[in-house]
Amino acid sequence: METHDIMKIRIIYLVIFQSLLLFNLSEAQIAEESERTSGERTAIPKVMDLSEIFQLEEMTREDFEVLKREREQNIRERLSQMEALEQAIDPTQYIVGPDDIFSFNVWGAMEIQTLLAVTPEGKLLIPSAGEMDVSGKPLTEVQKSVIEKAAGFYEHSNITLNLEGLRFFRVHVVGEVKFPGTYIAQAVDRISELIVEAGGVTERGWKREIQLRHPDGAVDYFDLTSFEQEGNLEKDLYVNGGDVIYVPPIEIQTNLVQVEGDLEHAGIYQIFEDENLIDFLNRIRALKRSTDLSKIVVIRSGENDGTNSESKHLLSPFSSPFTISDSIDHFFPLRHGDRIVLPSMVVYVKGTVQSPGAYPYILNLTAKDYAGMAGGDYRSGSIKDVRVFHTQTGKTEKGPDVLVEPGDVVHLNPSWNVRLGNYIQILPAITSLILAAKAAGFLGD
């Protein structure tokens, strides 16, 4: 093996070694930075469990009082965190669970004001009265049971038990969401809020039958589309610890339609049984005040009827672009496999303009208006010869005053002077080729 080949091999080994060294250093720095940033995050103060205290064998009264004060301080830190509520909590609907914080008050011969937290085992430790199982019970039931049990120990006194702080727990959001995983929630959080935290529903997700699976096996269903359009909170249920929110995918085999034309809403959608066109377009938010229903086309295959033909259903035109016609044609039911072609809300400009491309459709603008928006140079482009290709009809019109419709293509042709100049520019090249060919003998004398 020659000397320069050996040097090449050594250099390659050196480069690979240095690359691995830099990679390991980068990994170590990333791990160190991750550990440092995770340590800087503000953690939710954990409430001390009094049940741990009673397990200690050597516990003096002073030690007990110190731990009790530390526990109350942790609770007060949690209470200092503001919680945004929709309204006052309904005691009949709120379900008590671990880490809920209560204010236990006694007024009379003996006065007591203390904070109590539900233990991880779901128990509430009542001063003098002992412990009670409260997890999974409505707030009203817990309040009534605690007051009845404590009444025997605090005679001739008024006793109250109030909810002071809401617990935190884990909820799992899975299925067709952008960031599936486990999220921290409270008992006043709803399904829609957790889905937003998970990044929202993907394009493949089916919003109409989202499942809320409870630890006991029960399943509730939530219609996110109805909530987004109507703000109906009745089905937007509150979550609880251990719940699983599952967003199912659309069913590919049945009840699918394809939307084309409008890039904002193009895609495949699932439909309901006997869902009509207007309801569907409203549901996917494809209808706007400027939408021209007469330009919407539904292409339906004839496979269901035993034929291979296609039928196009043009909606009846209406008088004003800002009103929706009441024609019965708008409400025909959609079928599986229908293709809905929506009018594009852009106009394409090309040719001798400075900035060719797509421009927003504006009502009643003409070809020369769009050519001007694209930076048309009327000295190099012939505005009289501007052409508009109408995508809806497939026809082409010529002239600067042609009314442009959504999806049309405006083409500004070069003027005669520009075309002549282009021809003159290539004449020398053509002449040189001819002379070279003649000199080589390819052309006769």
Please give the share of the chain, as a percent, with pLDDT higher than 90.
13
Summarize pLDDT for 252-288 with one digit per residue, the tens: 777 888 888 776 777 888 888 788 888 888 888 887 7
Let me know whether 58 and 161 are in one domain: yes
Query: Are 102 and 201 within one domain?
Result: no
323 plus 229 within the same structural domain: no
Instruction: Report how far residue 402's alpha carbon sits from residue 383's, in angstroms, rounded to the nearest whole number.
Output: 12
Cα separation, 329 vs 315, whole angstroms: 6
Query: Do 147 and 59 fall into the same domain?
Result: yes
Total number of domains constituting the chain = 5
Residues 196-223 have pLDDT tens digits of 888 889 888 888 889 999 998 999 999 8
Residue 42, pLDDT score: 34
Helices (H), 231-331: 277-283
Give the list of residues 6+ apart from residue 379 with CB closer than 8 angstroms, or none: 415
Tokens of 235: 């089905």
Please check whether residues 390 and 377 belong to one and the same domain: yes
State whether 104 and 180 are in the same domain: no
Q: And the tokens for 170?
A: 């884990």
Same domain, 132 and 183: no
* Confidence (pLDDT) at 70: 74
Which three-class secondary structure state does DSSP give residue 157?
Answer: coil
Residue 210 token pair: 């989202």
Range of the domain at 299: 256-341
C-alpha closest to that of 102 among 115, 86, 89:
115
Residue 106 has which token pair?
């006694």
What three-state secondary structure class fits 324? coil
> For residues 442 and 309, which has the higher predicted lDDT (pLDDT)?
442
- Beta carbons within 8 Å of 130's beta carbon, 6+ residues apart: 149
CATH number at residue 61: 3.30.1950.10
Contact 246, 213 (CB under 8 A): yes
In tens, the pLDDT along 413-437 reads 776 555 555 556 666 766 676 666 6
Give the Cα separation of 97 and 246 in Å (integer): 23
